[in-house]
Structure 1
Amino acid sequence: MSDEKANLFGEFRRMARTSGAVGGIAARVAGQRFLGIKTDKAAHAEDLKAILGGLKGPMMKVAQMLSTIPDALPEEYARELATLQSNAPPMGWPFVRRRMASELGPAWQSRFKTFGQEAAAAASLGQVHRATLPDGRQVACKLQYPDMPTVVEADLRQLKLAMGLYARMDSSIQGGDIYDELRDRLREELDYEREAAQMRLYGLMLENVEGVRVPSPVPELTTKRLLTMNWLDGRAIQQRIEEDPSQDERNAYARTLFRAWYVPFYRYGVIHGDPHLGNYQVRPDDRGINLLDFGTIRVFEPRFVGGTVMLFEAIESGDDDKAAHAFEKWGFRDLKRDTMDVLMKWARFVHEPLMEDRERPIQETNDPLYGRKVAEEVHAGLKRTGGVRPPREFVLMDRATVGLGSVFLRLRARVNWHRLFKEMVEGFDEAELAARQAEALARAGVPAAGAVAV
């Protein structure tokens, strides 16, 4: 069978597997909404998670992203899909050898002193092997699963169908730009040479941030489908949390993570868009953090970052006109005042930990569903006022904020979030950010095309 026919058959088979799940969602939700048929959406969501969780990465990653965007999916589906983890079967050693030969040539093993035959870790689009270079350096080799571009395109078609069906049932949040953003970021993530450049960018942006370590790529052993980087010793932060560390240690992790995410954003207009627990480790030698996986990176125009600072100032001072200007800088168009009032409920919820100059947990209520309740109020308000079309930049910014907040909740950290934030934005100037951003992108070699998507 030719490669083209094999790819086409693989895509068809994958679409057949996911289309049943998508169709099931549409039938059940539409049946309840339009025909009054009662369905067990929670049970169906569990089935959907089982179906999608066995796929190799992209749909799982998209589901994780959508689960953090209020009302992009029905509550039951968002809750179940948020728990998805990649459980794709690992590539066996004979397959790995062939894949490595296709990336580095038939004599690829001569370029390593040792190369682990078993995968050391799984990534959303591939798997990681530990190896040693001839000069003794320990490295991690992230090798992409075969035919992932075809897989991603098939998943994107299914995602577009699913989001379109849901939009017909509920237009409170119009998701066209959300889809475009997820599509572009997923396509970028396929390019490991781009990820290597983004890794260099993070190394530059965080080089003076205490407690954060970023791996460095090995360019001569990196291709579009193979990313080789220095190995960082560490273990999953979730394991350390389960050991019940001291409050001081929990607080130290939280402060380091806050700076790891928001120094790049407020000083360079860049954010790491994938803040799930698998993307950072605790180091064995201190209370520092290893930051990993730089495939989903968003570079913002300085005006968007300026809008974020302006919105904080508007909430702090109670200035509704300034808030309206901030939403305009973010890219919201023709917002009615009553729609903006609804959006401000979500903005106040997100900014609430930043408002008081004192040590506190990220959320003071003990209600684990508090955030969901706020989102439901916002959803109901948007339905009442005619809906809204979020700008595409909002997707990863919101994911980072909500995702990182959930990590702070798990850490049970108590820090002064207000002072951490003020440290980020002191002396903020859009022109200075633009200059720093341009210099950092050029030094890191981040591709100009698509670097700032608008």
Structure 2
Amino acid sequence: MSKRKPTSSIRSGGMGRGLAMSLAGLRAGGAFALDGALARLRPGSDAQAEAGDSEFLRREARRFVAELGRLKGTYVKIGQMFALLGEHFLPRALTDALQELNAATEPLPWAEIEPALRASLGVRLDELEVEHEALAAASLAQVHRATVRASGERICLKVQYPGLRDVIDSDFDTVVRMLLLARWLPAGRQLDDWLEAMRQHLHHEIDYQREARLGDLMAGHVNATGAAPGGCPYHVPRRHARYCASDVLALEYIDGHLVTDAAVSRLSQSRRNALGRGMLDLFFRELYSWGLLQTDPNFGNYLIRREARSDQLVLLDFGSTLECEAHFLQHLGGAIAAGLEQDREALLESLIGLGCLNEASSAYARDTFIDFCFALLEPLRPPAQLPAEYLNAEGDYCWGRSQLLRRAGKRAASSAASLDFATPSRDFALIARKLTGVFTFIAVLDAQFNGHALVAPHIARWRRGGA
């Protein structure tokens, strides 16, 4: 793996980095135009679909994404954001390629991080014994473990890369300009609103004061909450305000496992079921009770801490937390409730309220998107309505065996292909992505349980107005 560019290049290399991206965009734009022309010449082909998903264009998309990966830093983060939220208006060839971007990178050496920490914490840094080797490094920050000398307590320092705030807007504009040059990004007022929402989302990722505030709010909710029925308790690492700054976040160090670790797969079926229930219950608590949703489905944002009596689900990283507005929650709550009750008319009304469908949408667009919603909510149906082929001998839904997201994804592609399918709001796209992340987490656990009994009380309480 290549070394990360030194700090000076992050601060002053914007012109060279932007030029490289513009050249990549010009090349991709020519490829897109040529591929579209060739597609129109193919007899019996759907030119629009082929121009966005041919092998030729996939090859050019991979070239462009490789350039993003080479430039590293903010470009990788921006590319990942477009992979997460851009599937509603970017060609599939590009979003598929962007999903291969890896945020993991070589950390900056201690000689460059230590002056930044000293500038942020001043004499408080002398109160800590900081390990010089980073625990982890990503596109925007790296994490160091430290010990508070006075107490011996171990903490984690999330340190933002120096100079990041100076380049983040120009790097975002460069990627957008490249996408326009490549003709991968259509013009329009609705898209302008989306791009500004994405820019704001990116700024939230580097706003550690906001992340600290929302982390504290989430910790307050978690501390007042018990475990889900048959589920696991939650834990938010305690924040050490004394060692926080505008570009440093200090949190309690937790020793735990990722859901993908072999140690988790070796847990008993009942323990994995409890973790799965806990993850599903957490989603509906965030959505219905707290109005505060951590929208990044990355597995690295959760740790599993094994305990003698009950495993804990540790919640990390609140940089991409969404503070949901009441009218949006009203429509979303109605959509989920109608989806579970198979009420097509009520679901249609809620989807229009969410901006996913228009009043003038065709019957085909309405039916295909409603069918997609019904398919996605399959694990939450009453037991009698669950597909028998995905149940175990006890009648429990097998999340891993169901391949739900692959099956539902085919319906989603059919919906999005309709010309009168509306680009959904950013909030809906974030929550839809989070829900698929939750389902994937449970599937990786290979959990086996029915979700209806867990979800139904949340919906009933929401209908009573949160009483």
Greater displacement, 11-20 / 145-154:
11-20
Residue identity in the other structure for 1:115:
V
**Aligned counterpart in structure 2 of residue 89 of structure 1, from 86, 106, 126:** 106
Residue identity in the other structure for 1:15:
G
Could you tell me whether the CA contact under 8 Å between 1:54 and 1:86 is conserved in 2?
no
Q: Is 1:378 equivalent to 2:404 in the alignment?
A: no
Structure 1 segments unaligned to the other structure (5+ residues): 434-454
Q: Secondary structure at the match of 2:430?
A: helix
Give the 5 Å matches for 1:23-38: 23-36=26-39
Residue identity in the other structure for 2:115:
R
Deviations 1:275-330 (A, max 9, x none): 11111111133522211111001011122122122112323444343223312432
> Percent of counterpart pairs with the same letter?
24
Could you tell me whether the CA contact under 8 Å between 1:28 and 1:39 is conserved in 2?
no
Deviation at 1:120, TM superposition (A): 0.9
Give the 5 Å matches for 1:428-443: 428=462, 432=466
Structure 1 pair 132–40 and aligned structure 2 pair: CA distance change class (3 A)? same
Deviations 1:414-450 (A, max 9, x none): 22122222133231158659xxxxxxxxxxxxxxxxx
What is the rounded CA distance, in whole Å, between the counterparts of 2:293 and 2:441 in structure 1? 16
Could you tell me whether the CA contact under 8 Å between 1:178 and 1:395 is conserved in 2?
no
Q: Secondary structure at the match of 1:389?
A: coil
Greater displacement, 114-123 / 153-162:
153-162
What is the rounded CA distance, in whole Å, between the counterparts of 1:169 and 1:204 in structure 2? 41
Could you tell me whether the CA contact under 8 Å between 1:163 and 1:175 is conserved in 2?
no
Give the 5 Å matches for 1:1-16: 9-16=12-19
Structure 1 pair 205–137 and aligned structure 2 pair: CA distance change class (3 A)? same
Could you tell me whether the CA contact under 8 Å between 2:257 and 2:303 is conserved in 1?
yes
Deviation at 1:247, TM superposition (A): 2.6
Structure 1 pair 368–42 and aligned structure 2 pair: CA distance change class (3 A)? farther
Structure 1 pair 317–243 and aligned structure 2 pair: CA distance change class (3 A)? closer
Residue identity in the other structure for 2:299:
L
Give the 5 Å matches for 1:407-446: 407-428=441-462, 432=466
Higher relative contact order (CA 8 A, sep 6+): 1
Residue identity in the other structure for 1:83:
E
- The residue that corresponds to 1:192 in the other structure is 208
What is the rounded CA distance, in whole Å, between the counterparts of 2:93 and 2:242 in structure 1? 46
Structure 2 segments unaligned to the other structure (5+ residues): 1-7, 40-50, 228-232, 384-394
What is the rounded CA distance, in whole Å, between the counterparts of 2:404 and 2:130 in structure 1? 48
What is the rounded CA distance, in whole Å, between the counterparts of 2:73 and 2:287 in structure 1? 26
Q: Secondary structure at the match of 1:237?
A: coil
Residue identity in the other structure for 2:260:
Q
Could you tell me whether the CA contact under 8 Å between 2:68 and 2:75 is conserved in 1?
yes
What is the rounded CA distance, in whole Å, between the counterparts of 2:171 and 2:382 in structure 1? 43
Could you tell me whether the CA contact under 8 Å between 2:211 and 2:318 is conserved in 1?
yes
- C-alpha RMSD of the superposition: 3.1
Residue identity in the other structure for 2:442:
F
**Aligned counterpart in structure 2 of residue 315 of structure 1, from 315, 333, 339:** 339
Deviation at 1:222, TM superposition (A): 0.8
Q: Is 1:60 equivalent to 2:76 in the alignment?
A: yes
Q: Secondary structure at the match of 2:260?
A: helix
Q: Secondary structure at the match of 1:97?
A: helix
- The residue that corresponds to 1:17 in the other structure is 20
What is the rounded CA distance, in whole Å, between the counterparts of 1:316 and 1:238 in structure 2? 30
What is the rounded CA distance, in whole Å, between the counterparts of 2:216 and 2:185 in structure 1? 43
What is the rounded CA distance, in whole Å, between the counterparts of 2:424 and 2:302 in structure 1? 29
What is the rounded CA distance, in whole Å, between the counterparts of 1:348 and 1:267 in structure 2? 23
TM-score, normalising length from structure 2? Answer: 0.81
Structure 1 pair 41–318 and aligned structure 2 pair: CA distance change class (3 A)? same
Could you tell me whether the CA contact under 8 Å between 1:71 and 1:173 is conserved in 2?
no
Could you tell me whether the CA contact under 8 Å between 2:31 and 2:57 is conserved in 1?
yes
Deviations 1:401-422 (A, max 9, x none): 1222222232222221222221
Give the 5 Å matches for 1:98-109: 98-105=115-122, 107-109=123-125
Q: Secondary structure at the match of 2:197?
A: helix
- The residue that corresponds to 2:378 in the other structure is 352
Deviation at 1:370, TM superposition (A): 2.8
Residue identity in the other structure for 2:137:
A
Residue identity in the other structure for 2:434:
A
- The residue that corresponds to 2:164 in the other structure is 148
- The residue that corresponds to 2:291 in the other structure is 269
Could you tell me whether the CA contact under 8 Å between 1:177 and 1:391 is conserved in 2?
no
Could you tell me whether the CA contact under 8 Å between 1:202 and 1:214 is conserved in 2?
yes
Could you tell me whether the CA contact under 8 Å between 1:256 and 1:288 is conserved in 2?
no
Aligned residues: 424
Q: Is 1:324 equivalent to 2:348 in the alignment?
A: yes
Greater displacement, 31-40 / 91-100:
31-40
Structure 1 pair 305–184 and aligned structure 2 pair: CA distance change class (3 A)? same
